[in-house]
Chains A and B, each alone.
Chain A
Amino acid sequence: MLGKSLLTGMAVTLRELFRKNVTEEYPEVQPELGDRFRGGRLDLVVSKCIACGLCMNNCPNGSIKLKTVKDENNKRQLDSYIHNTGLCLFCNLCVEVCPTKCLVWSKEFAYAGYSRDALVFDCMALDRERIHREEQSQTTEEKG
């Protein structure tokens, strides 16, 4: 019968009407992305980094730029560490190659900005901020 299939289609829509919604209440409810999620910035733990440069050399897209200096004991140290997320492929090769496991993903996914510069992160400054925040929360805990 002509038009029967259209009614079948309507029945599907009707059935779905009474199903539970699949859409998420974003941004009130943040999605559960799991512990393997790769996204956001690279959080560098500067104290663990041995400045070997493997992460930079393994990056397929030149997204990591680090500079090193020699200290008084002739040991290599990080001078600067820039992660340009605008170039990043989120391929995880840098995280996997790091011998001291001092790179982790910050896992945020909403960091769009008004210019390309907003996608470039100074990982050493971020690490200093993180340490500072931790220290502060520790002192407030002690006081409280």
Chain B
Amino acid sequence: MQTQTFELNMGPQHPATHGVLRVVLELDGEIVVKATPVIGYLHRGIEKICENRTYVQSIPFTDRMDYLSGMNNNLAICQTIEKLMALEIPERAEYIRVITAELNRIASHMITIGVLALDLGGWTGMVYCFRDRERILDLFNSLCGARMTFNYIRVGGVGWDLPEGWLDECRRFLKDLPEMLKTYEDLISGNEILQMRLKGVAPLSAERAIAMSASGAVLRASGVDYDVRKANPYGIYDRFDFEVPLGTSGDNWDRFYLRYLEIIQSARIIEQALEQIPEGPVMAKVPKMIKPPVGEVYHHVENPRGDLGFYLVSDGSPKPYRWHARRPAMINLQLLDELSRGTFIADVVATLGTLDPVLGEVDC
């Protein structure tokens, strides 16, 4: 009997596509023959916008790229500009940066875990992750007055010093974190149905992961030990003792569970930073109008989604000549087709969830 494949649109308006992603699926019954991500629905032209802004003005736009991890984006662009200007940062600011960046990593991974459970039909799991993430957002709100679009980390330091009692609140959160993680373990990752849905599905070999320039948890799930915080330490990350969790088979389960393990490591970093944080200023002396010397610079950091890099070219004027972002979510998403082929249509949602793109960053 002769059969025909047929095309099905997944998205763009569908919650399981994590934003506005359209995937054109070519299906043979329930089996995926080809999955083509169609991107651009959220394109705002941030790169071009930022080339028409001053260096400082481009920071709030990075909040709107990967909007689940604004702090890490702020950190990346600020360190890039500082590298271009050869600027030294006060110690206290460095510690605050690490604490906020790692807190944001935890918040972002909580979303990844919760939303994956939701994508696979487990409403309850999502609710607990969102509830706990709220604690972090509250911390950020009391710190800088915004819950997601922070513009907190600035060129030369951070925008505000820690308010009174903030460190204690942060410690309380860390104390409660193991219980939260236990809840996720009991409810989500320990769940047999979830495990059966994820284990062995859409494996990615280390060679292919490297060939496709995957980064972040997607790369490490395939067993490649590459974390920018270790491989090319930025800021003061070389002072902290933490491990880089690795997967073995690179399947959906590994990609998912790695995020869970990374939360534990981030908490370890924050604990150490809370112990070591000194008193002092939080802002270096920065000229009112930033005009970096002529030159170019590339700097990358470990975002919750992977290796986020910024490339800036300065022509000596107050505005960058070129402002380019290497967006990990965009690059990781390219794996969707390869990973989805031969799997069931229901697994595409899971694969997409473990690749964890944020469409604000994919489209930029």
Contacts and interface: CB of A to CB of B under 8 A. Distances in A.
Nearest to A58: B57
A36 to B, nearest CB: 4
Main secondary structure of the interface of B (DSSP, over half): helix
B183 A12 contact: yes
Given A2-B192, A90-B149, A9 B143 contact: no
Contacts of A4: 192
A82 to B, nearest CB: 20
Interface residues of B, number: 31
B280 interface: no
Interface centre among A9, A90, A93 (most CB of B within 10 A): A9
A91 interface: yes
A97 B289 CA distance: 12
A126 B232 CA distance: 52
B191 interface: yes
A87 B64 CA distance: 13
Interface residues of A, number: 27
Nearest to B163: A36
B145 A9 contact: no
A141 to B, nearest CB: 32
A5 B191 CA distance: 5
A12 B117 CA distance: 15
A39 B58 CA distance: 20
Interface string B205-233: 00000000000000000000000000000
B124 A93 contact: no
Nearest to A38: B145
Contact of A36 (B142, B190, B192): B142
B48 interface: no
Interface of A: 2-6, 8-9, 11-13, 16, 22, 33-34, 36-39, 58, 60, 89-93, 96, 105
